């Protein structure tokens, strides 16, 4: 775990927020087919493994979605494709069975900030779960306008309420969503459009969410450059006991450039798996990856009404953020660091984990994360017990592998830096956008 924006002057939060897209370096995340206002996807990767400085638009805030289709909110310049309700039970829900968790915890009393493209509170499964947030694109906005559909989809994975005739529901339906709108960019058929905020404003968005009561912070965005203001904002959140979850990016086939904020200390970096449990081909691999969750063919709410399917690490991150919300309700005495530790310690073993380092410590298991921590009590329970637990050999081995990976990455970065005399552009990339419509950045 990394746990342990605008372009050169105007770093834009473009593709990172919206589409969970697996885009090539330099392409901001884009909406999936059908179009949607998603931050732009990264551009096509160069033949050689890209370094941060070699990524065109690397300083752009991009969503980590691969494909998606959504219905645009009122007053958006471009209307998104209409979506219909889906009655079938999505595979992530079959895997996690939220009904088993509901008697234990629903995330009640916990606030999850979704720094993204906005969250449409008019969707019947979100409604009063969406608080008044803020809009860094349009003055006076409360974060409830979503012209890309990315933020609404992410929020629904966390907190969508049960609804008659619809099997889909969020993992933590009792949680409150605090929307912070930072982008409306989308990419349709390779063309980017829409506005995004600067890297400085992205950092300001994180601080605003922390100052307005966020207990958990979901960042389904990727920036392929280390921006000091963003790094400082992440430190600000960690210091105030906020659990920070971020998408690990969708550029595996482009050399796995280091994704931020996922690579920062104190952040849970999340990769994606498909329904068969195998790592999604676009999901990045590296020492910044802490664990994986469903991120391929994921069902989610669309702005206004209905549902869409999409893929990208953008959509894997909210499953982890929702689990953090469940834990923060069930064990309110745990610190943010302890919540993250419990999530990692209760992950299920991943297939081919030894051969493929793309799973982190394993696959998210919300039920184990809650039940294996013991019940909540009226008084603080021995948080010290978490610190005094016997060392876990598997985690120790993971740490060793990460250290080795860091050393290899440093050597490669040194060599690559000597070869590339390019100006570093911040690139915040949306891991992968929804798969059937708008996609911030499709995998190359």
Buried b (16+ CB within 10 A) or exposed e, 367-381: bbbbbebeebeeeeb
What is residue 419's predicted lDDT score, i.e. its pLDDT? 39
Which sequence positions are flagged as catalytic?
Answer: 116, 150, 314
Number of structural domains (the chain) is 1
Exposure on the CB side of residue 164, measured as CA atoms within 13 A = 0
CATH number of the domain encompassing residue 118:
3.40.50.200
Residue 429: inside a domain, yes or no? yes
Say how far apart CA 163 and CA 274 lie, in whole Å.
26
Closest CA to 295 of 279, 319, 278, 313: 313
Q: What is the DSSP letter of 430?
A: -
What is residue 8's predicted lDDT score, i.e. its pLDDT? 28
What is residue 172's predicted lDDT score, i.e. its pLDDT? 98
Residues of the chain below pLDDT 70: 1-75, 77-82, 186-193, 353-356, 373-444
Residue 2: inside a domain, yes or no? no
Can you say whether the dihedral through the CA atoms of 6, 11, 15, 18 is positive or negative? negative
SS3 labels along 238-279:
HHCCCEEEEECCCCHHHCCCCCECCCCCCEEEEEEECCCCCE
Residue 6: inside a domain, yes or no? no
Residue 1: inside a domain, yes or no? no
pLDDT tens sequence across 36-78? 333 323 223 333 344 444 443 455 555 666 554 333 445 676 6
Residue 140: inside a domain, yes or no? yes
Strand partners of residue 302: none
Do 5 and 428 contact (CB within 8 A), yes or no?
A: yes
What is residue 184's predicted lDDT score, i.e. its pLDDT? 85
Residue 272: inside a domain, yes or no? yes
- Coil/strand/helix, residue 220: coil
Could you list the residue range(s) of the whole structural domain that residue 226 is in? Answer: 14-433
What is residue 26's predicted lDDT score, i.e. its pLDDT? 29
pLDDT tens sequence across 104-163? 999 999 999 999 999 999 999 998 999 999 999 998 899 999 999 999 999 999 999 999
Residue 410: inside a domain, yes or no? yes
Residue 4: inside a domain, yes or no? no
Closest CA to 248 of 203, 292, 182: 292
């Amino acid at each position: 775990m990394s746990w342990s924006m605008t372009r050169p002057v105007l770093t834009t939060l473009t593709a990172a927020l919206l589409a969970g897209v697996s885009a090539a370096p330099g392409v901001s995340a884009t909406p999936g087919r059908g179009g949607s206002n998603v931050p732009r996807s990264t551009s096509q990767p160069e033949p050689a493994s890209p370094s941060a400085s070699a990524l065109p638009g690397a300083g752009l805030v991009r969503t980590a979605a691969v494909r998606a289709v959504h219905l645009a909110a009122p007053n958006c310049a471009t209307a998104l494709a209409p979506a219909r309700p889906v009655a079938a039970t999505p595979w992530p829900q079959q895997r996690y069975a939220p009904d088993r968790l509901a008697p234990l915890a629903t995330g009640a009393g916990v606030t999850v900030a979704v720094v993204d493209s906005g969250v449409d509170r008019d969707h019947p499964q979100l409604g009063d779960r969406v608080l008044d947030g803020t809009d860094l694109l349009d003055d006076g906005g409360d974060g409830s306008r979503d012209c890309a559909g990315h933020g609404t989809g992410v929020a629904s994975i966390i907190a969508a309420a049960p609804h008659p005739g619809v099997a889909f529901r969020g993992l933590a339906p009792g949680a409150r969503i605090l929307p912070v709108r930072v982008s409306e960019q989308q990419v349709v058929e390779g063309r980017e459009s829409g506005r995004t905020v600067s890297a400085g404003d992205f950092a300001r968005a994180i601080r605003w969410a922390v100052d307005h009561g966020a207990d958990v912070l979901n960042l389904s965005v990727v920036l392929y450059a280390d921006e000091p203001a963003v790094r400082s904002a992440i430190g600000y959140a960690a210091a105030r006991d906020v659990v920070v979850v971020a998408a690990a990016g969708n550029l595996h086939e482009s050399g796995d450039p280091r994704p931020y904020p996922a690579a920062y200390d104190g952040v849970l970096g999340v990769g994606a798996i498909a329904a068969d449990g195998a790592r999604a081909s676009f999901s990045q691999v590296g020492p910044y990856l802490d664990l994986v969750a469903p991120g391929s063919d994921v069902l989610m709410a669309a702005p206004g009404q209905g549902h869409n399917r999409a893929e990208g690490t953008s959509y894997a991150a909210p499953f982890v953020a929702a689990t953090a919300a469940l834990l923060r309700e069930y064990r309110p005495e745990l610190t943010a660091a302890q919540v993250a530790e419990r999530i990692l310690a209760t992950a299920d073993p991943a297939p081919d984990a030894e051969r493929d380092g793309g799973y982190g410590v394993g696959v998210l298991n919300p039920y184990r994360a809650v039940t294996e921590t013991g019940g909540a009590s009226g008084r603080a329970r021995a948080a010290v017990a978490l610190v005094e637990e016997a060392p876990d050999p598997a985690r120790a081995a993971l740490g060793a592998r990460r250290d080795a990976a860091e050393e290899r990455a440093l050597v490669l970065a040194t060599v690559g830096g000597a070869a590339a005399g390019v100006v570093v552009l911040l690139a915040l990339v949306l891991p992968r956008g929804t798969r059937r419509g708008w996609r911030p950045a499709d995998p190359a």
